[in-house]
Amino acid sequence: MARFSQFAVAAAKMAFDDARLDPSTEEAERLGVLLGNGIGGLPDTEEGCRIMVAKGGMRMTPFFMPMVLPNMAASQVSLQFGLKGYSSTVITACAAATQAIGEAAEAIRRGALDVMVSGGTEGAITELGLAGFCVMRALSTRNDDPTKASRPFDAQRDGFVPSEGAGILILESLDHAQKRGATILAEVVGYGASADAFHIVAPDADGSGAVLAMKRALDEAGLSSSEVDYINAHGTSTPLNDATESLAIKRLFGDYAYKVPISSNKSMIGHLLGAAGGVEAIASVKTIMEGIIPPTSNYENADPACDLDYVPNVARRKEVRVVLSNSFGFGGQNACLVFRKFEG
């Protein structure tokens, strides 16, 4: 099993345990999985190429293809837990996990399923993966001080810091959750997605794609921008993304953009690529549960293009009812979720 698939299976097991939900006691046809992923089994692709060059193709593992395919993480979760209702994968770069959660919630709302295992997984820290991002100047070069390298919205940011892992949630219909007496942590009340149609890697400079995705998410939730208590930003620590995301927030939120707290988890855990939105969805829900907004670490130097409240360096206690979580990816992929406190 490829590393990204192992992450997914492990995280799904933890999510089921946390939800106190035993899938073996449920109707298998009403349970599904929808995961986000960016690159698939890149370590296994690398290793397969090495073996082929050194020893010939017939010395490669016969499991090569099933290991590297991006859909295999969801397939492995389906196999391991007996989920027969649905299995699919969203491959939209760094927006993948957020888009997967949004689409999973929509599937439940349509009545097709009762439970969806959803989020994202990534295991792509390899020589090839790092070289690919380095040659396009996407990564931070602050190698002499790595703890300060990821600094979203800071004037001296110079690229992102890659990481890997999985973030997975259990989504349920309200009726199913209440019938089994589940502890409901939050509601997914809004989802929006859009495309920049601008450039293969750079965001649209006017932030219009991000504005559209955020607006669609809020519209579906039936909320105004002034009702958002916290924004979990995409915040990659790249010069272009952070300035564009800040501009998009200002365009949609108006004067309230300067009042709403915004922070980036990537300042502390790096960028999980296709899995980022899954981990950030969990952080968004935990913010609602705990009333603690995580900080943007390493924010030390103000950037005129990033002049909002980024909760610099110190977590903040605040009652949070509504969170907007943003994810944007290469290819002009934009996806946003709105989480709300469940009030019965």
Show the DSSP H helices in 162-275 as ranges.
174-179, 208-221, 239-253, 266-269
Which amino acid does the sequence have at 39?
I
**Cα distance between residue 271 and residue 250, in whole Å:** 24
- Residue 323's nearest CA partner among 187, 130, 198, 180 is 187
Query: What are 36's strand-pairing partners?
Result: 90, 120
Catalytic residue among 49, 176, 199, 271: 271
271 a catalytic residue: yes
Please answer whether residues 267 and 295 qualify as being in contact, where contact means their C-beta atoms are separated by less than 8 angstroms: yes
Structure tokens, 249 = 């927030």
199 a catalytic residue: no
Strands 115-122 and 31-36: parallel
Catalytic residue among 199, 234, 306, 336: 234
**Cα distance between residue 155 and residue 175, in whole Å:** 48
Please answer whether residues 190 and 223 qualify as being in contact, where contact means their C-beta atoms are separated by less than 8 angstroms: yes
E strands, the chain, in order: 31-36, 86-90, 115-122, 165-172, 187-195, 230-232, 262-263, 292-293, 316-317, 322-329, 333-340
What is the chain's Cα-based Rg? 20
- Provide the 10 A C-beta neighbour count for residue 228: 25
Catalytic residue among 49, 94, 176, 336: 94
In order, the DSSP letters of 111-148 are TS-SEEEEEEEE---SHHHHHHHHHTT-B---TTSGGG
Active site residues per annotation:
94, 234, 271
